[in-house]
Amino acid sequence: MAKTKPGKKDLNSFVIGGANKIVRPGDCVLMRPYDSNKPPYVARVEKIEADHRNNVKVRVRWYYRPEESIGGRKPFHGAKELFLSDHYDMQSAHTIEDKCTVHSFKNYTKLENVGADDYFCRFEYKAANGSFNPDRVAVYCKCEMPYNPDNLMVQCDQCKDWFHPSCMGMTIEDAKKLDRFVCPDCSCSSDDDDGKRSLNSSGVSLDSEAKVGQKRRKR
């Protein structure tokens, strides 16, 4: 009569070989890609378990890079931007290369220095149909684009909207030297019109502190 194999057991942690770092459920990790020429995959560890032979596996929820999504990378996507997907997998824990940090969008924009293992996420992504949550965000500048934390923006002292220097006919160097900036609309009118701010009517507002922080952040 065949014996029933012992069941699996949940683990509280796993030590990454070589990196000597402890991974626990809830941590974000870099995982070895199938193609060594590609960047590591990014995932959030949901569960760690071992079988009767002590083979350790992790249940992960994948982050997608913009270029891996159905719509592809857009101009407003940051270089370190990720989407938290609804795609789950079981993987060998030994494919984990290192830990990383996936910040909220607001916290990322407040970083003084962005490290190699720092990423951010502001959207959840449904891999099957390519939809996003939220599906609308605030837009800025006369180009009406969402905020990209990698790009410098200048704030109008009157309407308080934010603008890309290139859209205002300035270089980045010119923008950094500004003590005060007034956008073309405000310079042509003395009215304090809050309506000049370009917002998607059903959008999710991005915190203005985030854009100020972007101007301070060093790379």
Strands 118-126 and 81-92 turn out to be parallel
Specify whether 127 is located in the same domain as 160. no
DSSP β-bridge partners for residue 49 = 10, 57
CA 114 vs. chain centroid, Å, equals: 12
Specify whether 161 is located in the same domain as 121. no
Specify whether 43 is located in the same domain as 122. yes
* Structure confidence at residue 54 (pLDDT): 85
CATH number of the domain enclosing 189: 3.30.40
- The C-alpha atoms of residue 22 and residue 117 are separated, in whole angstroms, by 16
Q: Is residue 140 part of a domain?
A: no
* Structure confidence at residue 20 (pLDDT): 81
Q: Which domain holds residue 40?
A: 9-133
The structure's pTM equals: 0.78
CATH number of the domain enclosing 120: 2.30.30.490
- What DSSP designation does 202 have? T
The structural domain count of the chain equals: 2
**Within a 13 Å sphere around the CA of 184, how many CA atoms are in the beta-carbon half?**
9
Q: Using DSSP, state whether 73 is helix, strand or coil.
A: coil
Q: Which residues of the chain fall below pLDDT 70?
A: 1-6, 189-219
* Structure confidence at residue 5 (pLDDT): 52
* Structure confidence at residue 8 (pLDDT): 85
